[in-house]
Every structure is written in C-alpha cells, then in structure tokens.
Structure 1
Amino acid sequence: MSSIKITTNGSQEGALKIAFATTDMQNIDSHFGSATQFAVYDVSKDNITVCEILKVPEKDTDKTVELLKDIDIVYFTNIGAVAAAKIINSGIFPIKYKEIVPIDEELEKLKTMLGSNPPPFIKKIIEKKAA
C-alpha cells in the first residue's frame, strides 16, 4: 500500500462505512450476487480503519442486503437489476467496476476525495450521517 495507514481499532465517528466484494481481501473482484464475503472499512479524510469481514452465508439477495444494512457504499464487479434496486432502496450507494481494482487504490482515492471536494453523492451520504 502507498501512504495508507490502516488501523484495526474499531469504528471511526463520522467515517464512511465502505464494503468491497472480494475473494482475496486485496481486490474488488466479485459480482454482488455471488460474493461470499465483503471487506468492510471505515474511511475518513484522516484515517482508514479495517472494521470486519462480512461473510455471506447463503446466496439470497435480501439477506445480503440486510447484512450490509450499516454500509454507506458497496463496491463490486457486477450486479443484477433487482439486487441494485434493493441496495439503492436500502440507502446503500452501489459502485460497479467492470475490471478488477485493488482495494487499497480505492481506499486512497476515497480518503483523498474526503479531504478535498467530494462529489455530490458523497456529500449527501455525509449529510445523512450527520443528521
């Protein structure tokens, strides 16, 4: 990892809770519907904290969405239309990559974005968390 300092000392107040569909804990490399686990991090402009690994016990979209209920943004390589609608209706912002992307690169982008001028969708999530 580049300049990312990752800690494991619990959740950060006001941080975004981010989940990555991953098979290897290094890359965003899983389809939402076939993901067996999600790596969860808290990300703020100052810190990145590893929170937990959420294991998906069975392939059931409703149960997976429920498992992710505290997540602000979820990343994956693909998602079906019904699952995408359920994620969005649950207040989770979905981000799809067509190619495999390293998790640490995305964490660094998010941290930098939070320290500068975040896009409107990130500002909306921050405002919702502050309310």
Structure 2
Amino acid sequence: MRHLKLVSSQTPLGKEPVLRIAFASSDRQTINQHFGAAEAFAIYELSQTTFQLAEVAEFHGRDTDRDGHEGKLEAKVALLQGCAAVYCNAVGASAIRQLLAANIQPLKVDEGTPIEQQLRLLLDEWNNEPPVWLQRSLRQQQRSVATERFADMANEDWSEEG
C-alpha cells in the first residue's frame, strides 16, 4: 500500500466542525470502484463551507481482489478510521457490517460520479437538510470535542486563591 497524507501550512477549514469523507477512486477524480476491490481511496476533509484533499491511499495486488479472504477488508476499514462516510459504486454485506461497526457510513453512487460534484452536493445537504448519517456524525464529533475540552480543563492547574 502507498499512502500520501497532505499537510498544509494554511488550514482553510479553521475551527469549524470537520468531517472526513472517503471516495473509492482509481483516478482521484471520479467515484469508480467497488469498496472491496478498490485500488485507491481519496480522503477529503469537509467543513460546512469548504473541502480539501487530505489523503490518498493506493492498494496493490491481493488487497484489490474481489474474491478471497475477508482480511483484505480489515486494512481498508482501518485506513478509513475516523471517516464519517465512504462513497463507492458497490459494497458487499460483510464490508457494510465492518464499516458500520467502525461508525463509517457506506454510500453507493453511480460509477463515474465526479468527486467534486458529490462534495458540493454534500455541502448543500449539510447546510439545508443533512441526512441522518451526517447528523449522527456531527453529534459524535460535538461529543468528542466536549470530552476533549473537559479533559483539558481537568489537566489545568486550579487554585482557590483569588
């Protein structure tokens, strides 16, 4: 597997809530892969107003075969850990179970759907009528941020002196 994580000196997403969304894509332009046989994933960070490419991972050889042992799915699900959703052209029942157990929503779209088009549609849904899976992901993120804030406050030195 080859894995590229992009690091930006400027973060256009700022302090807004950010979701990670994955796309099964061999060309990084269109959604054109079955989840289990995906040769590559493009992972984007999405806020309520913008999006940016964050990671690209490519699989080779046995990791992309449709048939074979279930272990090939584990590496893909592990790679997508922290993503709210993965868009693909098809996904098997076993992969669906594993993705949902990892809190990743599998979403099926037509082959050749442009990634940018899907991201713009998702931005529109987020700002108007978010689907249930998106609402759930946002709530989970808010709980996580609140828990981190509480932990930070608990670790601060507190003094009763005025």
The TM-score by the shorter chain falls in which range?
0.7 to 0.9
Q: Looking at both structures, which has the greater relative contact order when contacts are Cα pairs under 8 Å and sequence separation is at least 6?
A: 1
- Specify the alignment match of 1:102 in structure 2: 114
- Specify the alignment match of 1:21 in structure 2: 24
Native 8 Å contact 2:91 2:106 kept in 1 = no
**Secondary structure of the residue that 1:104 maps to in structure 2?**
helix
Structure 1 spans left out of the alignment, 5+ residues = 1-7
Q: How far off its partner does 1:32 sit? A: 0.5
Structure 2 letter corresponding to 1:125: S
Partners of 2:18 and 2:102 in 1: CA distance: 19
Partners of 1:71 and 1:43 in 2: CA distance: 10
- Specify the alignment match of 1:119 in structure 2: 131
Does residue 48 of the first structure (1) align with residue 47 of the second (2)? Answer: no
Q: TM-score, normalised by structure 2?
A: 0.70
Partners of 1:126 and 1:72 in 2: CA distance: 9
Q: TM-score, normalised by structure 1?
A: 0.86
Q: How far off its partner does 1:120 sit? A: 2.0
Query: Pairwise CA RMSD of aligned residues?
Result: 1.7
Specify the structure having the higher radius of gyration (Cα): 2
Q: How far off its partner does 1:79 sit? A: 1.1
Does residue 36 of the first structure (1) align with residue 48 of the second (2)? Answer: no
Aligned residues: 124
Identity, % of aligned positions = 28
- Write out per-residue CA displacement over residues 24-76 of structure 1, whole angstroms, 9 at most, x where no aligned residue: 11100000111121001111121111111022355111111111112110010
Does residue 88 of the first structure (1) align with residue 91 of the second (2)? Answer: no
